[in-house]
Amino acid sequence: MSLLINQSLINKAYTYASYREFLDGLLAKGKTTGANQSESMINYATLNQKRMRKWEKIGKITPELMGKLQAVDQKMTWLVITEGWCGDAAQNLPFLNKMAELNPNIDLRFVLRDENLPLIDAFLTNGGRSIPKLIALDDSLEVLGTWGPRPEPMQKAFLDNKVSQEKTGKEFTEYLHLWYAKDKGLTLQNEFLAILDVWNQKLQSLPVQAG
């Protein structure tokens, strides 16, 4: 993976603060990320900024997850592939940031999908370039695991609806965001309770490097 994920990529990647500032700057010019600058995409991006601000203000990390995050004692990078128009990203990124803020060992970074197609193509979801996609990396930038593009219950619902076509795209999007509003980030956090155990086990089993 070193050809795709290297220190240069991490250094150039956005922090959460710089990513939010970048998105706000684009919206101030009536733009969003990516090549598609249609009115609908701008509207999605505008709505997403409101969603992010909402969770930044009222989102809470559970005490159980807080304890597990604070116990991480080795360096870890969470590289997130995303775009400003992505609704799932807007609902989840603020919680990922709140998690990372709890431990200086966790370095949260963001890159844009459409500027890094070889990278997202190495981390496809069911053959698609679904985002957000979080790639957890150890201190040597070896992959510990991934998360994304959405909490598992909603991913299953999305895939089931793709087959059944029970809901139109618009109806499913409304259903999805209503679920996020009611869930308040709890399902995401419960998934990270389990994921962190796996990633930590991998970190603990790594050979100690001299230096």
Residue 156 forms part of a structural domain:
yes
pLDDT digits (tens, 9 = 90+) for 71-92: 999 999 999 999 999 999 999 9
Contacts 24+ apart (CB under 8 A), 153-158: 153/179, 153/187, 154/179, 154/180, 154/187, 155/125
The residue assigned the tokens 């090549």 is 35
Is position 76 within any domain?
Answer: yes
**Domain presence at residue 24:** yes
Q: How far apart are CA 193 and CA 180, in angstroms?
A: 19
Task: Identify residue 61 by its one-letter amino acid code.
Answer: I
The mean pLDDT value for 29-39 works out to 96
The pLDDT score that the predictor gives to residue 205 is 82
Q: 21 lies in which domain range? A: 7-204
pLDDT for position 211 = 40
pLDDT of residue 3: 75
Instruction: Note the pLDDT tens digit of each residue in 98-121.
Output: 999 999 999 999 999 999 999 999
Tens of pLDDT, residue by residue over 130-159, are: 999 999 999 999 999 999 999 999 999 999
- Distance CA(2)–CA(148), nearest Å, equals 21
Does 31 have pLDDT greater than 90? Answer: yes
Contact 134, 79 (CB under 8 A): yes
What's the CATH code of the domain at 111?
A: 3.40.30.10
The letter for the amino acid at 201 is Q
CA gap 110, 190 in Å, rounded:
22
Question: CA–CA separation, 155 vs 176, rounded Å?
Answer: 10
What does the block give as tokens for 193?
């309770």
Q: What is the CA radius of gyration of the chain?
A: 17
Burial class, 188, CB count within 10 angstroms (exposed 0-12 / middle 13-18 / buried 19+): buried
What per-residue confidence (pLDDT) applies to 155?
A: 96
pLDDT at 207 over 90: no
| pLDDT above 90 for 204 | no
The total of structural domains in the chain comes to 1
2 inside domain: no
Q: Is residue 19 part of a domain?
A: yes
Q: Give pLDDT, residue 9.
A: 97
**What does the DSSP 8-state code read for residue 127?**
T
Q: Specify if 1 maps to a domain.
A: no
Query: Looking at residues 45-51, what average pLDDT do you find?
Result: 97
pTM (predicted TM-score): 0.94
Band the pLDDT of 206: cuts 50, 70, 90.
low
In a domain, 180, yes or no: yes
The C-alpha atoms of residue 177 and residue 135 are separated, in whole angstroms, by 24
CA–CA separation, 138 vs 143, rounded Å? Answer: 7
pLDDT mean across residues, the chain = 95
Q: For residue 211, is it within any domain?
A: no
Q: In this predicted structure, what is the pLDDT of residue 2?
A: 56
